[in-house]
Amino acid sequence: MGKLVKSEKEWKKKLSSVEYGVLRGQGTERPFTSRLLEEKRTGDFLCVACGNKLFSSEAKFESGTGWPSFDKVKDGGAVVLGVREHGGHEVSCKKCGGHLGHAFSDGPLISTGKRYCINGVALKFSSKNK
Ligand SMILES: [Zn+2]
């Protein structure tokens, strides 16, 4: 996968201030604010910054945390997991390095065991029925 490298100035121009705060500033959106929580259509969730396909709609589940949650990454190489001080992992986009959210090991799927807790502002939904 080709990496997308931009200066912070370029990212500021490309992203909205809310997106920038999460993706480049490691921020976290307020829970229950993402419209993607209600997204139930079939499709893919892409990185809003670079279009990298991160999660498929099949992996989305209702976690009750207030953030869009997934039990597995679309393609194992789409994200990078880093160490997080308070437990779990930092999740970032492998292509652009943007911060997406956090991963925990209490997911519902036995095969992955993961719960990816992702900021909705870092994602954009692409419906398959377009
Ligand atoms: Zn990205």
Residue 16 in this model has a pLDDT that exceeds 80: yes
Task: List, for residues 55-101, the tens digit of each pLDDT value.
Answer: 999 999 999 999 999 999 998 789 999 988 888 999 999 999 999 99
Q: Which residues of 90-125 are buried (b: 16+ CB within 10 A; e: fewer)?
A: bbbbbbbbbbbbbbbeebeeeebebbbbbbbbbbbb
Quick: pLDDT tens for 35-51.
Answer: 999 999 999 999 999 99
Residue 13 neighbours by CB distance under 10 Å: 10
**How far, in Å, from the CA of 8 to the mean position of ligand 1?**
14
Half-sphere exposure of 128 (CA within 13 A, CB side): 9
Q: Is 117 a catalytic residue?
A: yes
CATH of the domain at 119: 2.170.150.20
Domains in the chain: how many in total?
Answer: 1
CB 23 within 8 A of CB 48: yes
CA of 65 to the centre of ligand 1 (A): 23
- Write out the residue range of the structural domain in which residue 116 sits: 8-127
Neighbours of ion ligand 1 (CB under 5 A): 47, 49-50, 52, 93, 95-96, 98
Residue 2 lies in a domain: no
Domain assignment present for 38: yes
